Amino acid sequence: MRETHFGYRQVPLDDKQALVDDVFHKVARRYDLMNDLMSAGLHRAWKDALVTAINPPKSDREFALLDVAGGTGDVSFRTVASGGHGTRATVADINTEMLAVGRERARERGLDDAVTFVDANAESLPFPDKSFDAVSIAFGIRNAPRIDVALKEMHRVLRIGGRFLCLEFSNVDVPGLDALYELYSFNLVPAIGRAVVGDAEPYRYLVESIRRFPRPNAFAEMMRTAGFARVSHRVISGGIVALHSGWRL
Ligand SMILES: C[S@@+](CC[C@H](N)C(=O)[O-])C[C@H]1O[C@@H](n2cnc3c(N)ncnc32)[C@H](O)[C@@H]1O
């Protein structure tokens, strides 16, 4: 039986998705609040860097973004706000509870037309080949049981000349900051989870899954294998996150 990691635990490959779904089911209602608390608001700057790279046109030209594992729609809302009238976003996520929170937000903001929510697995996207101008995934790829399959799918639905962007936690290599980050991640993050969501376990998974995720150069190689060209990345906030980029040429 093939196995994979769920945080630090070794689990059968086919069991991982259900465990991940359980995590996001538990946190959905408090997900965006927790992002603010855990990152001290920094996730906003990281997502702004992502949206700048997505670069939606300011004109009325049509532009379609697919945001995979888009959860409650944060990246999509930001992209639509930053682009012109022709910018549309599709949030694809496997978790109906995260999508429900996102749909409520879209309604509240009058953005039902501009942002669409689709129940979908990153490993088998229900979209035609070459149907999006840009594809993004923020803090989502490490949750997929088969990262290679998800990368190939995101490449398949991207148009020729389109850009793929992946924002993901990385490895802090700055002396001093690394020890502080370890202490914070393994102690404070689960404690904040217990206080706000009532359960430390989802946040223990979060921290462990970050540690297990491939280093940026290894991930770049996985992107090339999936077919992406001109692959590059840059680290942000001392390496807490990395923004990976690739093109379909
Ligand atoms: C940490 S959240 C990120 C949400 C959003 N991208 C953001 O940055 O706010 C991870 C998301 O990945 C979703 N997810 C996990 N496995 C998935 C899969 N196989 N396909 C699609 N989405 C998945 C979860 O449901 C969750 O909404």
Q: Buried b / exposed e across 173-205, counting CB within 10 Å, b at 16+?
A: eeeeeeeebeeebeeebbebbeeebeeeebbbb
pLDDT band per the 50, 70, 90 thresholds, residue 1 = low
Q: Is the CB of 93 under 6 A from ligand 1?
A: yes
Q: Tell if the pTM clears 0.85, that is, is over it.
A: yes
Does the C-beta of 51 come closer than 6 Å to ligand 1? no
Task: Out of 5, 38, 95, give the residue to mutate to test ligand 1, the one with the largest number of ligand atoms within 8 Å of its CB.
Answer: 95
**Which pLDDT belongs to residue 177?**
85
pLDDT over threshold 70, residue 145: yes
Count of Cβ atoms closer than 10 Å to residue 128 Cβ:
9
Helix, strand or coil, per DSSP, at residue 90: strand
Residue 133 near ligand 1, beta carbon < 6 Å: no
**Any atom of ligand 1 within 6 Å of the Cβ of 122:** yes
The residue nearest atom 26 of ligand 1, judged by CA position, is 71
- pLDDT recorded at residue 95: 95
Q: H or E segment at 169?
A: strand 158-169
* Whether the CB of 143 sits within 6 Å of ligand 1: yes
Q: Are 14 and 22 in contact (CB under 8 A)?
A: no
Counting ligand 1 atoms within 8 A of each CB, the residue from 98, 127, 149, 243 with the most, and so the one to mutate, is 98
Residue-by-residue DSSP string for 7-46: TTEEEEHHHHHHHHHHHHHHHGGGHHHHHHHHHTTHHHHH
Average pLDDT over residues 77-98: 97
CA distance 87 to 82: 9
Is the Cβ–Cβ distance between 47 and 114 less than 8 Å?
Answer: no
Structure confidence at residue 97 as a pLDDT band (50, 70, 90)? very high
